[in-house]
Amino acid sequence: MARDPGNSRQAAKQIGISNRPRTFRDRIGERDRFDVYRFSLKTRSSFKLDLKGLKTNADVLLLNNRGRVIGRSNREGRRNEAITIDLNQGTYFVQVNARGRTTTRYRLILRSNTITLPSPSPGSPVPSPSPGSPIPSPGPGGGSNSPAPLPNTAPTLLANLGVSVTRGGSGAIGGTLLQATDPEQQASQLVYTLTNLPKSGQLRLNGTPLTLNASFTQDDLNNNRVIYQQPNQLANEVSLSGTPKISGSNVVWAASDGTDTEIFFYNGTTGIVSQITSNDVDDLNPQISGFNIVWQSGIDTAAEIFFYNASTGEPTKRLSDNDNFEDTNPQISGLNVVWERKRTNDSDVRLYVVGTSTRSNSIGSLNDIATQPLISGSHVAFEQINSTGNVGGIYLYNIDTGRTPELLTRRVSDKLTAISGSIAVWERTKGSDKDIFYFKDGEDEAISDSVVLDDSSALISDSFIAFQRNHTSDNTQDGLYLFDVETKLIKQITTSASDTLSGISGSNLVWTRSDGTDTEIFFYNGATSQTIALTNNLLNDSDPLVSGSNVVWLSGTSSTANQISLNNATATSDTFGFSISDGASATTGTFNITIG
């Protein structure tokens, strides 16, 4: 059986040609996108090529021994293609390219005739053309009809079929799914550069995560070295302090760098993890709002508060202004930052507005004990009691008005749990019963005052309050619930008291649940009322937080978590953008991923 033409110069089919036309018949299209033939000339020759019998569109190229295009025919439709050129001694390649995915037969007709040059006049020099180069042919009137040097051609995208993966799974992006060709370059010389990253997963090359502007080659694709993986693993085998915090697709966390604890940031736009701090003290308790990050640092004689804008990259800014007291528990919303300052006998809540403040200000009473500040927009909620511990409650402060904080509840035993805008939420214990209260429009109200329902662990986002409920007399009403402050409607989300609520964003919830062996992560989509299992593995997955539909969580094989994962819980598809370059010209494209 005749050997099938190869699809590269290395695998090209060797043929011989002469002054008698020689015809080669084959087919291209579908999976076999191009055929390559190799021939050699022993003398300077006039070369002619015809491509006929096409059923669909196809092109033909003539390349020298270095892979550079020296002749081309690319007529539209099913028209015959032809190349006529004079060539020097050397090796050449003919490449037949399919323009569509439909298979077509073809007839490739080749011939060459030795060129006999006239004898030079006595004493005149004889030029010696280099092997493998085209030579001019005398044209009418003595002119030359040799082709002008052809411009470089951009890579052609032959296949861009996309890939399908299961949620939480992975899939190889091979050369049959994403393939480019270039007549002048080999597969290892066709470079893909990432112009947009996938949002719901991660691209990896030989196991290493790829970031924005990272690159891989067609040869990497052909050898299944590029993988799309869910979820996006931000950190692995790290010693964490606390839990990661999320805002949009940006994530911040504290982890050991081998000597002490530092702050790390994942940029959801670029896919790059960067270390924000690098010093010889422990940096702890990071919080994030957009690209704005705050944390407490163990510099000087006590903890201090620092701020960093990850989008500008400007130097970190110290917000606290003393060396004698301990500044801890920072919280941030936009450019508004609050924290707790601990003194010898009391504590107060400090406020710093980045870009406006020159130093922090106290928003609680300096003679009392103010703790647990929470912030949302321009509103700050905190707990405050007097020095004897018998007078106080929960307070709400408006940064815009700057008025004296408003007292929401006078019960010193009430525990502030959450805030959203001007709505504060707290937990009240009466005997063995727990209830959830919220403050809105000047009034406080309980979600339920039933003595047989223990409501706890309340979180709020927008006008939605999520909480855990335990029915003390039986388990008929156990589970997680969602309460709408505007409509006063309550909805049961799960039916198990062992579900542990962890995060809320709008009406979206995340929680953990034991499967009897380890813990898994679950997500509730408030828009569709659908519950999705984000993990189903042999790891202990814990501490999920949600921002929009982006969920971050910790994982580990034991009680110590050492992995950070990020996933878009509602995504059913994903994409990444790329450009393909041969070193001179580029072609752009978008690769699609189906998640199901």
Whether residues 113 and 17 fall in one domain: yes
Asked if residue 537 belongs to a domain, the reply is no
Q: State the CATH number of the domain containing residue 194.
A: 2.60.40
Per-residue burial over 227-252, b if 16 or more Cβ lie within 10 Å, else e, is bbbbbbbbbeebebbebbbbbebbbb
Note the pLDDT tens digit of each residue in 271-322. 889 999 999 999 999 999 999 999 999 987 789 999 999 999 899 999 998 7
pLDDT band at residue 414, thresholds of 50, 70 and 90? very high
Whether residues 112 and 177 fall in one domain: no
Asked if residue 515 belongs to a domain, the reply is no
Q: Which of 86, 117, 148 is the last residue in one of the domains?
A: 117
Asked if pLDDT for residue 491 goes beyond 80, the answer is yes
Note the pLDDT tens digit of each residue in 333-348. 999 999 999 988 889 9
Tokens of 343: 């003194």
Asked if residue 270 belongs to a domain, the reply is no
Whether residues 104 and 161 fall in one domain: no
Chain-centroid distance of CA 154 in Å reads 27
Contact present, 578 and 192 (Cβ < 8 Å):
yes
Note the pLDDT tens digit of each residue in 115-155. 875 555 555 454 444 444 444 444 333 333 444 445 667 89
Note the pLDDT tens digit of each residue in 41-59. 999 899 999 999 998 888 8
pLDDT band at residue 1, thresholds of 50, 70 and 90? very low
The pLDDT score that the predictor gives to residue 140 is 37
The pLDDT score that the predictor gives to residue 136 is 44
Contact present, 438 and 447 (Cβ < 8 Å):
yes
Whether residues 37 and 110 fall in one domain: yes
Cis check: omega of the bond before 147, within 30 degrees of 0: no
Whether residues 21 and 91 fall in one domain: yes
Strands annotated E in 128-177 = 156-160, 163-165, 170-172
Asked if pLDDT for residue 457 goes beyond 60, the answer is yes
Determine the average pLDDT of the residues in 340-360. Answer: 92
Of 388, 344, 386, 342, nearest in space to 365 by CA: 386
Note the pLDDT tens digit of each residue in 223-236. 999 999 999 989 88
Whether residues 17 and 113 fall in one domain: yes
**Considering the chain, what is the average pLDDT of its residues?**
89
Residues 145, 143: Cα–Cα separation, whole Å: 7
Return the residue matching tokens 């080659």: 217
Tokens of 525: 């989509």
The pLDDT score that the predictor gives to residue 15 is 94
Q: Which of 70, 97, 117 is the last residue in one of the domains?
A: 117
Asked if residue 568 belongs to a domain, the reply is no
Whether residues 98 and 180 fall in one domain: no
The answer to pTM > 0.85 is: no
Whether residues 17 and 99 fall in one domain: yes
Note the pLDDT tens digit of each residue in 243-277. 999 999 999 999 998 889 999 999 998 888 999 99
Whether residues 113 and 168 fall in one domain: no
Whether residues 180 and 111 fall in one domain: no
- SS3 sequence of 432-452: CEEEEEEEECCEEEECCCCCC
Asked if pLDDT for residue 30 goes beyond 80, the answer is no
Note the pLDDT tens digit of each residue in 463-472. 999 999 998 8
Q: State the CATH number of the domain containing residue 65.
A: 2.60.120.380
Contact present, 147 and 134 (Cβ < 8 Å):
yes
Asked if residue 176 belongs to a domain, the reply is yes
Asked if residue 218 belongs to a domain, the reply is yes
Asked if pLDDT for residue 171 goes beyond 70, the answer is yes
The pLDDT score that the predictor gives to residue 579 is 95
Per-residue burial over 73-107, b if 16 or more Cβ lie within 10 Å, else e, is beeeeeeebebebbbbbbbbbbbbbbbeeeebebe
The pLDDT score that the predictor gives to residue 381 is 98
Asked if residue 40 belongs to a domain, the reply is yes
The pLDDT score that the predictor gives to residue 206 is 95
The pLDDT score that the predictor gives to residue 103 is 87
Q: What residues make up the domain containing 31? A: 13-117
Q: What percent of the chain has pLDDT over 90?
A: 63
- Tally of structural domains, the chain: 2
Determine the average pLDDT of the residues in 324-328. Answer: 90
Asked if pLDDT for residue 159 goes beyond 80, the answer is yes
Return the residue matching tokens 């040799």: 146
Asked if residue 63 belongs to a domain, the reply is yes
pLDDT band at residue 69, thresholds of 50, 70 and 90? confident
Determine the average pLDDT of the residues in 21-42. Answer: 88
Contact present, 327 and 339 (Cβ < 8 Å):
yes
Note the pLDDT tens digit of each residue in 436-452. 999 998 999 999 988 88
Residues 419, 374: Cα–Cα separation, whole Å: 7
First to last CA, the chain: 44
